[in-house]
Structure 1
Amino acid sequence: MHNPALDFAVNKENKTITIKREFAAERPLVWDAYTKSELLDQWWAPKPWKARTKSMDFREGGRWLYAMVGPAGEEHWAVADYQTIVKHQQFIGVDAFTDADGNINSAMPRSTWDVAFVDKGPQTLVECLISYDDLAQLETIIQMGFREGITMAMEGLDELLVSIKK
């Protein structure tokens, strides 16, 4: 039976958040949902927010520039700068808050995301290790409601996967 429970662990000593979540879809489809902007835009933001991609270049050295758009039209911009990509297995990127042109806001937290995709047959386990340079950045993200937001976004991914599975 598919159990979509989110395993969310904060390690303040190591300045990391570990997220583990299974999805009821095969690994190539889950990979696409994390790496193609037309799919990311459908689930990456917690409802009622929407993700909107301005540009995406999914390759080592590439960048995804996107906004989280609120119900009143407010925009919060961010980037993921991709460092390492192993197709269908893992990608590592640096995430940062930015302006609409992709200029990094150094007053806001930055993090490194190591995202691994584990093949479990008809299901896929996604393991995210999110690292911060200092504890204050980690605590800021938690206070901003990151756990609740990522939980809602992943529930949106569940819904998307059901709608696009062949």
Structure 2
Amino acid sequence: MNSHLLFDFSVNEENKIIHIEREFDARLELVWEAWTTAKLLDQWCAPNPYRTETKTLDFREGGFWHYAIVSPEGKKHWSRYDYKEIELQKSITELRGFSDENGMVNPDFPRTECTLIFSETDGKTHISMTEKYGSPEMFEKMATVSHKKGFSSHLKNLDDLLLTLKSK
């Protein structure tokens, strides 16, 4: 990751919100494609040494992304993101939750609402992400230094992928 690119991870304990700001050295169209296309998501969207495996991606309002984070030993941890609102190349609002391999969301964990705002200035893309946790327990689990490091790791994977895509 270019150390001059913005990365901010802030925690609002009172409202159970994590806010992440991140800048990428790539045009908006390319970052958007990497964020919304299964074959590209699978190349970056997991902290090392894990990987992502998409089962279904229906990127539209009312659609969803059903995927697994796969451990080096092959254990799959399933999640499902339901897309509530999409404004092309501007914003995505999704409901995130743990699921089973069939896409059934686990009712024991209230879902997290995540809003992503995309913008571009001088060829660099900025993403502002707000995660509102429906569960105090899940918030406590995610509002940690280890989550920040893991999230930073998979965004570094995106930096590397964007570099490869830009050179094509």
- What residue identity is the alignment partner of 1:37? A
1:15-164 map, 5 Å = 15-108=16-109, 110-142=111-143, 145-164=146-165
- Paired position in structure 1 for 2:15: 14
TM-score by length of 1: 0.94
Q: Tell me by how many angstroms 1:103 deviates.
A: 1.0
Question: Secondary structure of 2:61's partner?
Answer: coil
Q: Structure 1 vs Structure 2: percent identity of aligned residues?
A: 37
AA at the equivalent of 1:162: L
1:36-88 CA-to-partner distances (Å, cap 9, x unmatched) read: 11110000001110000000000000010000001000100001100000000
Deviates more, 1:73-82 or 1:113-122: 113-122
Q: 1:8 to 1:136 in 2, by over 3 A?
A: same
Tell me, in whole angstroms, the C-alpha distance in 2 between the residues paired with 1:146 and 1:112. 17
Q: CA deviation at 1:143?
A: 5.2
Distance in 2 between the 1:2 and 1:90 partners?
A: 25
Which digits, 9 at most, give the CA deviation of each residue in 1:105-138, with x for residues without a partner?
2233521110010111210001100001243321
Q: Which contiguous aligned blocks of 4+ residues in structure 1 show a shift greater than 6 angstroms?
A: none
TM-score (normalised: structure 2):
0.93
Residues 11 and 143, structure 2, Cα contact 8 Å, conserved in 1? no
Query: 1:80·1:96 contact (CA, 8 Å) conserved in 2?
Result: yes
Report the RMSD for the aligned CA atoms in angstroms. 1.7
Structure 1 alignment gaps of length 5 or more:
none
SS of residue paired to 1:30: helix
Number of aligned residues:
166
Q: Deviations over 1:133-157 (max 9, x none)?
A: 2433210223593212111000000
CA contact (8 A) 1:51 1:69 kept: yes
Are the aligned partners of 2:109 and 2:135 in contact in 1 as well (CA < 8 Å)?
A: no
